[in-house]
Structure 1
Amino acid sequence: MPSSSASTSDAAKPAAASGGVQSLERAFDLLERMADAGGEVGLSELSASSGLPLPTIHRLMRTLVACGYVRQQPNRRYALGPRLIRLGESASRLLGTWARPYLARLVEETGETANMALLDGDEIVYVAQVPSRHAVRMFTEVGRRVLPHTTGVGKALLAGHAPEEVRALLGRTGMPAATEKTITEPDAFLAALEEVAGQGFAVDDNEQEIGVRCIAVPVPDSPTAAAISISGPTGRVTEAATDKIVPVLQEVARELSVALANQNPA
């Protein structure tokens, strides 16, 4: 990796706090900041958000470009590169595998289909599912991508974001209606997120599909933004049932969070 002539260059010396290599920590931090910004940024934006000097960021970005993890656009801005796709797909599959025992417990305790989803850029992607045993049940294909404003998991994941970040995301995606119940105005969606943050869970009430109700909670302290949910027919997933389902969802989310942190799932 290119560095200055000083042997104690900020980009090369170990990170004392973690015992790791500071240049690697900084490179991954920049990649995450790029993802949070929608996948494309300029050097000045990265410098402002990270606090790193421009020369340091430029050295790191040159290395990431050379490795294929970042690409430089014709407008001189930097975008996430295609080599990250393979890593992300493999990690998502593994995360889904780890989550399945916890989703199976949700199915056992609630009787409804359980899902796990991630916020990937501006979209929600489903990475795991365990179906209900009911004859009439919900099914979402693993790998399916949807817009966050139409789903309970999307609300659960965005409730922790700053309003300006949410507005920026909605500006990039638009807010098309999946059903007549879908929230299609940014102010109304931000108000819904305030409610989610206050009560600790999110509800999709016929907003993604008519006749389907979904209850979702975020996975706290997940290494990547993740949420779990149950979904079922509105006749079974009633408001009364919600009071019983939410504590189960929150307990399983906490246990899954611990398992992911320890890399020792049940």
Structure 2
Amino acid sequence: MPTSSASTTDAAKTSAPSGGVQSLERAFDLLERMADAGGEVGLSELSASSGLPLPTIHRLMRTLVSCGYVRQQPNRRYALGPRLIRLGESASRLLGTWARPYLARLVEETGETANMALLDGDEIVYVAQVPSKHSMRMFTEVGRRVLPHSTGVGKALLAHTPADEVRALLARTGMPAATEKTITTADGFLDALDEVRRLGYAVDDNEQEIGVRCLAVSVPNSPTAAAISISGPAGRVTEAATDKIVPVLQQVAAELSEALASSGPGA
């Protein structure tokens, strides 16, 4: 019996090729696969996608269930558990804090208020902001939630989402008009997303608030869907200013993407 126990312990400490603990890497890989699959999967699906044998997956899932990070449904499928919510909320706040130096650079180089926003379910949530130094400036409270259809960050975040998924989201949220310029039809919004893909950036032109113009880009390869933006009075964020601001936005987004990647596996 002692020999069997020691063998189990050694197996649990088996190192992965990256130098990490293999069982931990496998467990996190399974959680990410569950998230990619919509949050609920069966063991056979996980085995097919991960290439791991069913007994290994069953053992890992049993551990995750006992810790509260996964729960087993009545239909025997597995779903992401409630303990992940607290981790996600804390990570979102930290991501916003970490992004502040990049937003500060945006303010320095554009003169306008810079924001970072995430897609949380069907809503946009602002997680960081650095205000402009102008006396007339835009202010969005960190933690504020808005619907995607009336914001530049919403367009940037949804630009590469399949059209049927976008339509389903809009059907769930509705498309209330924040101003007379707000896009209020699904076809109109999908046309706007076509424009984002064509141009490489999104515009909110008086659609969330009259007199305010915003420019936004997504953060490439972000671990969670994220976008950065600048916002300011329409009299300052003109078409001519847009030509100067967009390359700065894209450069800062690329640098933020590299910083996020450098904290991942193998960093």
TM range (shorter): 0.7 to 0.9
**Secondary structure at the counterpart of residue 124 of structure 2:** strand
1:165-212 Cα shifts (integer Å, max 9, x gaps): 333333443333333322232222222112111211001112222221
Unaligned runs of 5+ in 1: 1-6
Q: What TM-score, normalized by structure 1, do the two folds share?
A: 0.79
Partner of 2:180: 180
Partner of 1:222: 222
1:131-180 Cα shifts (integer Å, max 9, x gaps): 01112211111122222222111111111223233333334433333333
Moved more, 170-179 or 114-123: 170-179
Give 1:117 shift.
Answer: 1.2
Give 1:107 shift.
Answer: 0.8
In structure 2, the CA distance between the partners of 1:196 and 1:29, relative to structure 1 (3 Å rule), is farther
Counterpart AA for 1:220? P
* Contact 1:117/1:127 (<8 A) preserved: yes
Partner of 1:69: 69
In structure 2, the CA distance between the partners of 1:154 and 1:59, relative to structure 1 (3 Å rule), is farther
* Contact 2:205/2:214 (<8 A) preserved: yes
In structure 2, the CA distance between the partners of 1:255 and 1:191, relative to structure 1 (3 Å rule), is same
Partner of 2:131: 131
Moved more, 71-80 or 155-164: 71-80
* Contact 2:43/2:58 (<8 A) preserved: no
- Report the identity percentage: 80
Which of these two proteins has the greater Rg computed from alpha carbons?
2
Counterpart AA for 2:230? I
Q: Distance in 2 between matches of 1:54 and 1:178?
A: 52
Partner of 1:120: 120
Partner of 1:43: 42
Partner of 1:95: 95
**Secondary structure at the counterpart of residue 135 of structure 1:** coil
**Secondary structure at the counterpart of residue 177 of structure 2:** coil
In structure 2, the CA distance between the partners of 1:191 and 1:129, relative to structure 1 (3 Å rule), is same
* Contact 1:35/1:121 (<8 A) preserved: no
**Secondary structure at the counterpart of residue 116 of structure 1:** strand
**Secondary structure at the counterpart of residue 231 of structure 1:** strand
**Secondary structure at the counterpart of residue 235 of structure 1:** coil
**Secondary structure at the counterpart of residue 97 of structure 1:** helix
Q: Distance in 2 between matches of 1:184 and 1:58?
A: 47
Q: What TM-score, normalized by structure 2, do the two folds share?
A: 0.79
Counterpart AA for 2:191? A
1:49-87 Cα shifts (integer Å, max 9, x gaps): 946689466554443332112334556665433211221
Number of corresponding residues: 253
RMSD: 3.2
Partner of 1:156: 156
